[in-house]
Amino acid sequence: ACPVAPSSRSSQEVWESFSQCFTPAVKEVVEFAKSIPGFQSLEQHDQVMLLKSGTFQVLMVRFCSLFDPKERTVTFLNGQTYSLASLRALGMGCLLDAMFDFSEKLGQLGLEPDEMALFMAVVLVSADRSGIVEVAAVEQLQENLIKALRSLMSHRRPDDSTLFPKLLLRLPDLRTLNIQHSDKLLAFRID
Amino acid sequence: PKTHRVMTLADHISHIITQDFARNQ
């Protein structure tokens, strides 16, 4: 639920409320990560590193459901719908364009909620490895999660062997989104 | 008084994660 400002509020206030909306969303990703079987048996340092490099990408997957690529609108959890044009005024134009494209491609795969959740777990443990201490343990967890996702999807759609590879092709898209945007968007933190 | 700090979203995310793990130590 991230209400974007009515015109009466300054852009700083808009950014403040947007940044504050991010905090609960990030905390939810941390709780989600802790629920991934095997994640908490990783070194705590590695858990933190994966979260730091993967949370933005997981959020991008989660936010996809807010985007309507056909109508080019975003509907926040509080029900407020905004057109791409009105959101562009906040200066997030290029991220929004990228998000619309990404959510269109992901949406076309028609994943079930449990497949989407398993995909987000794969996204998190596939995040950047720099700074990871026990790479082998992370790689093993990633392999297990990919195996689980593949068997869930092939069990459900035995005659469609293209869907899983198409899904994995979204991982590089997410990495690009992360590289292009997570260190550009500014946030305000109030201490 | 409220002090505002401007940072990248990546740093904002890192800060929240660090705080969460520190709190659950």
Find tokens 């490099």 and name the residue.
Answer: A53
Convert the pLDDT of each residue in A4-58 to its tens digit.
555 566 666 666 666 677 788 999 999 999 999 999 999 999 999 999 999 999 9
Contacts B8 to A, Cβ<8 Å: 182-187
Structure-token pair, residue A71: 């109508």
Q: Quick check: A159 contacting B, CB < 8 Å?
A: no
pLDDT score of A186 more than 90: no
Give me the mean pLDDT over the A142-146 stretch.
Answer: 97
Q: What is the interface pTM, i.e. ipTM, of the complex?
A: 0.85
Contacts A55 to B, Cβ<8 Å: 13, 17
pLDDT score of A117 more than 90: yes
Is residue A57 within 8 A of residue A177, CB to CB? The reply is yes
Convert the pLDDT of each residue in A76-110 to its tens digit.
777 778 888 887 776 667 778 888 889 999 999 99
Convert the pLDDT of each residue in A13-23 to its tens digit.
666 666 677 78
Determine the Cα–Cα distance for residues B13 and B19; give it in Å rounded to an integer. Answer: 10
Convert the pLDDT of each residue in B1-25 to its tens digit.
556 677 788 888 899 999 999 988 6
Q: Going by C-beta distance under 8 Å and a sequence separation of 6 or more, which residues neighbour residue A118? A: A145, A148, A149, A152
